[in-house]
Amino acid sequence: MTNVLIVGSGPTGLTLAIELARRGVDLRIVERSPQPPTGVRGKGLQPRTLEVFDDLGVIDEILATGSEYPSMRSYQGDKVVWEGSMGQLREPSDGVPYPNSIMQPQWRTERILRDRLAELGHRVELGAELTGFEQDDEGVTATLSTGEQVRCAYLVGADGGRSTVRKQLGVGFVGETYEDERMLLADIRTGDLDRDYWHVWGSLADRTVHFTICPLPNTDIFQLVTPDTGEDLTELVARHAPHVRIDEIVWRSEYRVNIRMAERFRAGRVFLAGDAAHVHSPAGGQGLNTGVQDAYNLGWKLAAGSEALLATYEDERMAVAEHVLGLSTRLYRENDTRRGDNTNQLDLAYPGSPLSVGERGGERLGAYFAEQRGTGFLLLADTAAGHPVLPADTAPGHPSTVLPADTAPGHRFTVLPPLDGQEGVMLVRPDGYIGYHGDESGLSAYLSGFGIAAPLSDAAR
């Protein structure tokens, strides 16, 4: 029996597949489309997503083929009337190794993730649409358009805003669709614009935008975005920017602005993630990134297979999705294009989660990034103090890897010195958030409560 069936191969589904594959979990990932997408929908990767991609082993190619966001130029006709940036560029630091958003066409992000998944021995099954499923106490039976029935322990719907999984579950998708606010995306070629700038035509007086044309890194393509009024694109551009000629429209897509969130992110053995669980306005570049975080949160919990852990997914991610939806909606309404601390997703946390215990419980650690790479936990503790959770031969001040004999795959603990000024011990979850912060005497009970074997010294010998 397949352990996890993932429906949908966008950034959310691919991130989840990689998370499971590198933990040795038996998985399949199916996609109804017969071929990977070619057009550009999302293109912004936030700093927190870059940290995730570092852990997944794809950050080098993401950075090499992407770019920081270009400066913006606003025009009246062919005259530049304003220049500026979406946010101040920052230097990397120990706490924030990737401080700036990266522009990367979504089709390339997906290709890089697919290649990484292939390295781990798995491929997306294209042209395999989920047509139905039934679940019971022991698992889920899914039916594909190929006629195959797949029996799995868990099913994850990462199949977009029109999610078949969500609809069959009967889970409500609460929010608004702005029928009168339709947008048009188009990938175009033109030789008349500088590729060092994001070009904007509109009215500064009433803060309206006629269209924007943005160069996509390491391509010869620009992305044009405009309210969909039905006007021919070539005529629209000629009317406001007569010096710019569209040489070719490579791809185009119309969409309505949707702001919605599922009433539940889980029903029994079926989970929702990404756009299947929440859809955002395009403002702030939050949608794709929030889906990646959903997958990063869910992956290690599915691999562990503990019901107590799986129960925290909905609590943690619904609270985050609600917050991010509020942010992206406000930015959209105010036509605010700035990027900064409110959009980089570094401050998102899980303070109210059952998994979060102690003063810093639920916070992103923001340290030991190299040591966080991989699938295990970090334990920040004074090894010289002889804590009962540490093996007796752990050398003071040096990392030690501990694998309890009866632990599930991926429950590896790397012991590291505490942070400056840290009191008690800190247990850092595989997704980089602090789970437990407190006295060492409570750690074993905390771990066992979530079905995780504690790295006791007698189990490590």
- pLDDT tens for residues 338-388? 555 666 678 889 999 999 999 999 999 999 999 999 999 999 998 665 444
The average pLDDT across 76-88 equals 89
74 pLDDT above the threshold of 70: yes
Lowest mean pLDDT among 42-46, 67-71, 216-220, 293-297: 42-46
pLDDT for res 329: 65
Task: Give the predicted TM-score (pTM) of the model.
Answer: 0.92
329: Cβ contacts below 8 Å, ≥ 6 apart: 259, 280, 281, 283
Residue 205, pLDDT > 50, answer yes
The confidence band for 280, taking pLDDT boundaries of 50, 70 and 90, is confident
Question: What are the DSSP E strand ranges found in 137-230?
Answer: 140-144, 149-157, 173-189, 197-203, 208-215, 222-227
**Per-residue model confidence (pLDDT) at position 384:** 61
- Name residues whose C-beta falls within 8 Å of residue 79's C-beta, 6 or more positions apart in sequence: none
The span from the CA of 339 to the CA of 166, in Å, is 32
The enclosing H or E element of 31 equals strand 27-31
Tell whether the model's pLDDT for residue 455 goes beyond 80: no
Backbone angles phi, psi at 442, to 5 degrees: -95, -5
pLDDT tens per residue, range 233-262: 999 999 999 999 999 999 999 888 788 889
pLDDT value at residue 66: 98
272 pLDDT tier (thresholds 50, 70, 90): very high
Residue 28 Rama label (left phi>0; alpha psi -120 to 50; beta): beta
pLDDT above 50 (res 396): no
Say if residues 164 and 234 touch (Cβ distance below 8 Å). no
pLDDT of 49: 96
**What is the CA 310 to chain-centroid distance, rounded?**
18
Query: How many helical (H) and strand (E) elements, i.e. helices and strands, does the chain have?
Result: 11, 24
What letter does residue 442 receive in the DSSP assignment?
A: G
- Stretch 325-343: mean pLDDT, rounded? 62
C-alpha 262/C-alpha 279 separation (Å) is 9
Average pLDDT over residues 285-297: 89
Q: Is 459 a residue whose pLDDT tops 70? A: no
Share of the chain above pLDDT 70, in %: 87
Mean pLDDT of 196-208: 86
- The full DSSP string for 320-385 is HHHHHHHHHHHHHHTT----STTTS-SS---TTSTT-BSTTTTSB--S-HHHH-SSSEEEE--GGG
Task: Note whether 282 and 181 are within 8 A (CB).
Answer: no
Predicted confidence (pLDDT) at residue 394 exceeds the cutoff of 50: no
